[in-house]
Structure 1
């Protein structure tokens, strides 16, 4: 916090408490771990707070499934009056194709797909996601240029999670 910066106690108090309560209330709607929480963002406001939830599953989640969870959760949030009568916006959706992978379960779901992996040093490695475990991913790297006759054959590359800044799925229209 910068010198002279004043943090609103409303933001400090609400952010974590609301996120924890929403996480707790979501549990019955995750169908015994069929769905999983990718992220919950809470943007408190005196006028209209916003809760944005990203859910996924190993086989994907439909708009209808997100809408059903949103209706049930929204009703519960209104019943318990989480925002003390203030208006709020609730968004429940799946991560878009451009959203980075953040959970091991998301990586496993995308084995066989083309990924771009940005390392903490800024280097980007591209290839097909071949394997995932708790410590690392393995990609069959796509060469940045057409291989020359004397280049060693491209093989699988292990990348520890500790080295990964961001991984995104690459969309191909071939």
Structure 2
């Protein structure tokens, strides 16, 4: 028996109502619930996030909220009796669009890629977040390899003018971290 998309959407909405208070009891926000069929079982995916601040959900918090969600599902008539299910609980990944003010606050001081309503695509460091606007220092790629990136002075962008935005991960290697590593130990 395969679940229809409309059925899984309705179930996701129902579970959102069932699980919201359970997640909030951990000081977290229920970001999203999705349900999909996989063979004869259902996969319930739950995404949780911090309610505010710049810190991400840590592994211990994920473990605790997963236990609470699992217990709530075990008490739910649909999941307790008949339907086998798999539960996946996670925090939002870097690809999550920045759509809510708290998403922008969490991304403060990070690089973001964003598209303006006029189609302009930009990349820059998010330095300030207000209720209706953000301040970003736009970075321009160099014209030629080896040239430095040009960084504009911080500029204010109205959130209503930003069509899409995501965190742009930076990969910085700190050579000092590797100074005390003995290569022979790694080859062992």
What TM-score comes out, normalization by structure 1 length?
Answer: 0.75
Show structure 2 runs of 5+ residues with no match.
Answer: 144-150, 174-188
Partner of 1:68: 64
Following superposition, the deviation at residue 67 of structure 1 comes to 1.9
Say if 2:107 and 2:167, in contact at 8 Å, map to a contact too: no
Larger radius of gyration: 2
Partner of 2:20: 26
Partner of 1:101: 98
Structure 1 counterpart of 2:127, from 115, 125, 130: 130
Change (3 A) 1:134 1:44: farther
Distance in 1 (CA, whole Å) between partners of 2:116 and 2:166 is 9
Question: Number of residue pairs matched?
Answer: 160
What TM-score comes out, normalization by structure 2 length?
Answer: 0.70
Say if 1:19 and 1:42, in contact at 8 Å, map to a contact too: no
Give the alignment of 1:1-174 within 5 angstroms.
10-31=4-25, 34-44=27-37, 47-57=40-50, 58=53, 59-83=55-79, 85-119=82-116, 122-145=119-142, 154-162=152-160, 163-174=162-173
Distance in 1 (CA, whole Å) between partners of 2:64 and 2:70 is 10
Show structure 1 runs of 5+ residues with no match.
Answer: 1-7, 147-152
